[in-house]
Structure 1
Amino acid sequence: MEVNTMSDFKFKGVYPALVTPFDENGVDEEKYRNLIDFTIKSGATGIVPCGTTGEFTSMRFEEKLDAIKIACDAAKGRVPVIAGTGAAHTGDVIKLTRSAAEFGASAALVVTPYFLKPSNKEVFEHFEKIANNSDIPIFMYNIPQVTGVPIHWTLVDGLREIDGIIGMKDSSGNLVNLTTILVRRPDDFQVVVGHDEVALPALASGCDGAILASANVFPGRYIRMQNALAAGDLREALIIQRSIQRTVRIIVNKGGGLAVKAALNMIGIPVGKARPPLIEGDVLSYEDIDELRTCLEDLQLIPRGRVTFRAGENSIVAEAYPKAVGLVPDSVDDISLLHGESLCGGGTEVAHVDLIMGLRDGPMREALKNAGKIRDGFHSSNTIKGLEPTTVFAPTVTVTTEKHQKLIYDVAQKAVSDAVSRSITDGVVPEELVDDLILAVNVFVHPDATNPKRVHINNFRAVRHALRRAIEGRQSRDEIEARIDSARHPFAYNP
């Protein structure tokens, strides 16, 4: 890799905003190097340590030094490093940027000073002092949703004239401000997009590349998107963006680095947990983790492996089960009666599914005998016709109106049917078990629900999640104990 000077560094491609694996002593070097190797082998053209996704605000100064030094050494000769050196105090930024230069970083990514919400004059002088005291070029970093300090295009007009400031990363998602910056910039001022959800329109509008949280997980897909745009193939670029959009939305809106770490752990790249105050089960809910898992399954990123399902002396082995690392056990010891629960969505379109499943010659036989016999007005259960495995649909709410009835028995029941069928296609319900299983799916549809599309989507997702939890024998006792500090009843706050 050619060493860049202050004047010739050119951003190309996609850089992951690296998560930071931690251990009890600080940065977990082994896991960090493993992550860097994974991203480079997956197509990343550079890396960014100590950014927002890297939890830089939760790191001591010495830990930032360690992370940048490790990243520069791990990437040496392969890809450039843009070191995140942002801090609330100008002096700390200068010290960290100088160290990053000594370690071999090609440039520094400097976020606007946060918390105290400085004025435009103070922001200008902050960047000016940093640039005047740096041996490597500076990329400004605009992410007002967490700093509270936006960089307006009028401020960029002045900042880009400062020697040493060669570009900016825009993570605001504000395409109006971004495109204004793009049309006003000189040729030597580089602009990269940092908001994963708007990567396609930003790149199509002229951004030079991207620094993205989700590029920890699939950098190669963004490279393919860029290549498609460069070739004038907008249709192919759209297909790629749409294929990752659900995953990206969770990552962007559900805790950033917290969600990225969950995704990496599930695909077999161990990076540990986020540091407090970030915890799984709140902003990134357990339902979000379940949805993130199914998104990764759909992208063929979850590894496939052997799972053994046992019933008495008999056992069935699924050789290619979607085996999310850290979630799916090697064996389920008793599938005669299993339970899974899930909550998806919010407001009046919320879906709450309570699912019981088991073998036809076990306790589920009685459930099947009574299907369709329980009636309370329109509140009745029934066996879904034409669906295998045999599935009993049972609402958990009394019907209040004709519209409510349709949302339950037409929309939600169709969602259950679609989700069960999809779970067979996904390999979650092994083909060998289909004829032997009975499912009873209890579904809640809010009496004030109005949007059929959201009712279907939320129930479809909830059934997929609940079915996985059930057939995998989750939650296990260990899982429950691990989540005890962040658990809550599904309806504690919603609707």
Structure 2
Amino acid sequence: MMTFKGSIVALVTPFKKGKVDFDAFQQLVEWHVASGTHGLVPCGTTGETPTLSTEEHKSIVKACLEAANGKVPVIAGAGSNATDKAVDLARFADKSGADGILVVTPYYNKPTQEGMYQHFKAVNDAVGIPVILYNVPGRTGVEISVETVVRLAALKNIAGIKDASVDLGRPLQIRVALGDDFIQLSGEDATVAAYLAQGGHGCISVTANVAPRLCADLHNAWAKKDWKNFERARDALLPLHKALFIETSPSPAKYCLSRLGKIGEELRLPLVPVTPPTRQKLDEAMEFAGIFKTGRKTLKKAGKR
């Protein structure tokens, strides 16, 4: 089994004239592999998955697996607020050769802790690959409790959690309860340093879409206890972490990728392109990180303050 740690990118889904742009998607995956990204998540929140048809979703997972070609692990998004659909997507990912699946807590229907347990158990029972729970209460309206995580961890395939909670006590509580073998991945780029210090193993990252090498550098430095380079990468990334959420993600990330010449900026409604003031802030944040030059006087580069 491939290990899930370090900088794992929550991939955007490129569109062109309303269709999934598979050529651009393949090139994105190849860029991430070449840039040192440690893992790939197609069809997560950042991939605008709620706007995808089931056929598109499955085609993107297959395209990601083909482009990655076994070089880095692929954790396929398989989330839905309908358990039967989540099971279907999970089975497809398993049969297609995904290394793991990412399953979000059911959104909108607001299940109880018992409902969440039964939802994830149904997915667990349907597959033979690692299942990563996904806790993101800011988007789903529910939060899976530490107690429910511990209960789920007793099941065969529940291997870890992506946690986008603001409570940075959770990773330490989970680590104490379940040990270091239970995979813990941050879902919040801006607090990843604190998350790692509390027992985390990596981050499923939005920022890695735009700065894959710098995000990989951060996690490589952490693993080597190279604190000088860790701090350099951490500080360089901070303005970008913040700017990428000025407006609803992944609109800012798609703008940045369009500026870098990787994909078009196209989104699917109800998401829309970012406003001109946000564009300027994103340009400045990319320049601060050393991945883009605006040609304007802007923030000083990281390490030169």
- TM interval, shorter chain, is over 0.9
- Aligned mates of 2:96, 2:253 — CA distance in 1: 26
| TM-score (structure 2 length as normaliser) | 0.92
- Report if the CA contact (8 A) 1:32-1:271 is conserved: no
Using a 3 Å threshold, how does the CA distance of structure 1 residues 173 and 253 change in structure 2: closer, same or farther? Answer: farther
**Rounded Cα–Cα distance in structure 1 between residues aligned with 2:97 and 2:256:** 30
2:92 is matched with 99
Q: Which of 6, 22, 26 in structure 1 is aligned with 2:15? A: 22
Secondary structure at the aligned position of 2:40 is classed as: coil
* Whole-angstrom distance in 2 between the partners of 1:258 and 1:273: 9
Residue 294 (str. 1) matches residue 279 (str. 2): no
Q: Is the 8 A contact 1:83 1:107 kept in 2?
A: yes
Structure 2 gap ranges (5+): none
1:36/1:74 contact within 8 Å kept:
yes
Aligned partner letter, 2:62: K
2:203 equivalent to 1:199: no
Matched, 1:260 2:253: yes
User: What is the match of residue 68 of structure 2?
Assistant: 75
Q: Size of the alignment, in residue pairs?
A: 300
User: Which structure has the greater CA radius of gyration?
Assistant: 1
Is the counterpart of residue 278 in structure 1 residue 271 in structure 2?
yes
How far has the Cα of 1:252 moved from its partner?
3.2
Among 28, 31, 35, which residue is 1:38 paired with?
Answer: 31
Output the aligned Cα RMSD: 1.9
Contact 1:101 1:135 in 2 (8 A): yes
Instruction: Give the structure 2 partner of residue 231 of structure 1.
Output: 224
Structure 2 counterpart of 1:214: 207
Alignment partner, residue 250 of structure 1: 243
Report if aligned partners of 1:14, 1:210 keep a CA contact under 8 Å in 2.
Answer: yes
For residues 148 and 212 of structure 2, what CA distance do their matches in structure 1 show? Answer: 31
Q: Which runs of 5+ in 1 are unaligned?
A: 304-321, 324-419, 427-495
- Structure 1 position 86 matched with structure 2 position 76: no
How far, CA to CA, are the matches of 1:252 and 1:172 in structure 2? 15
Tell me which residue corresponds to 2:156.
Answer: 163
User: Structure 1's 163 and 77: CA in aligned 2 closer, same or farther, altered over 3 A?
Assistant: closer
Using the TM superposition, give the Cα deviation of residue 253 of structure 1 relative to its aligned residue in structure 2, in angstroms. 4.3
Deviations 1:428-461 (A, max 9, x none): xxxxxxxxxxxxxxxxxxxxxxxxxxxxxxxxxx
Distance 1:170 1:271 in 2: 29
> Aligned equivalents of 2:72 and 2:233: distance in 1?
24
- Does the residue aligned with 1:187 lie in a helix, a strand or coil? coil
SS in 1 for 2:47: coil
Alignment correspondent of 2:122 = 129
Q: Which has the higher strand share?
A: 1
Contact 1:26/1:63 (8 A) holds in 2? no
Cα distance in 2 for residues equivalent to 1:54 and 1:25 = 14
Q: CA deviation at 1:254?
A: 2.2
What is the one-letter code of the residue matched to 1:138?
Answer: V
Deviation at 1:185, TM superposition (A): 1.8
How many Å separate the matches in 1 of 2:11 and 2:87?
21
CA distance in 1, matches of 2:23, 2:224: 39
Which structure shows the bigger proportion of residues in helix conformation? 2
> 1:25 deviation in Å?
5.7
Q: Please, what TM-score do these two structures have when normalized by structure 1?
A: 0.58
Give the conservation status (yes or no) of the 8 Å contact 1:27–1:66. Answer: no
